[in-house]
Amino acid sequence: MNEEVTNFIEKLGTPWQMELSNRLRDMVHQTIPMVEERIQYKKPHFLKNGHYAAVISPSKNAIAFMIMNAKGLEFPKGFEGPPERKWIKIKEGDTPDYTILSTLLTQATESLK
């Protein structure tokens, strides 16, 4: 795992944001073997074979998890964004469904060769 991403997550404002970001990060690594991660545009980005796959985007009251290459996929209620990328804002106390997120991420990255 990338030390810059680790440091970024450790510096988030609240414990729940740190815990959520670490769980999302772990889910990405379990979903995409050999995923590359880096800080870009001041946020953790995850790449598969050099192509953007996901982004963790913190704000004051939420963590947004963005899935790239989303065009043509069916997303459940709660996701926002244009066809090519979708995100869900997760707030303190929310319980994200990591299985659904992992499935969507798998579907979105299948074609990234």
Domain that holds residue 70: 3-109
DSSP of 65-107, one letter per residue?
EEEES-TT----TTEES-TTEEEEEEETT----HHHHHHHHHH
- Per-residue confidence (pLDDT) for residue 5, from 0 to 100: 98
In this structure, what CATH number is given to the domain that contains residue 54? 3.90.1150.200
Q: From the first residue on, what is the mean pLDDT of each consecutive set of 10 residues in the chain (113 residues)?
A: 95 95 98 96 96 96 97 95 97 96 97 86
- Cα–Cα distance, 113 to 100 (Å, whole number): 22
As for how many domains the chain has, the answer is 1
0.85 exceeded by pTM: yes
- Per-residue confidence (pLDDT) for residue 113, from 0 to 100: 80
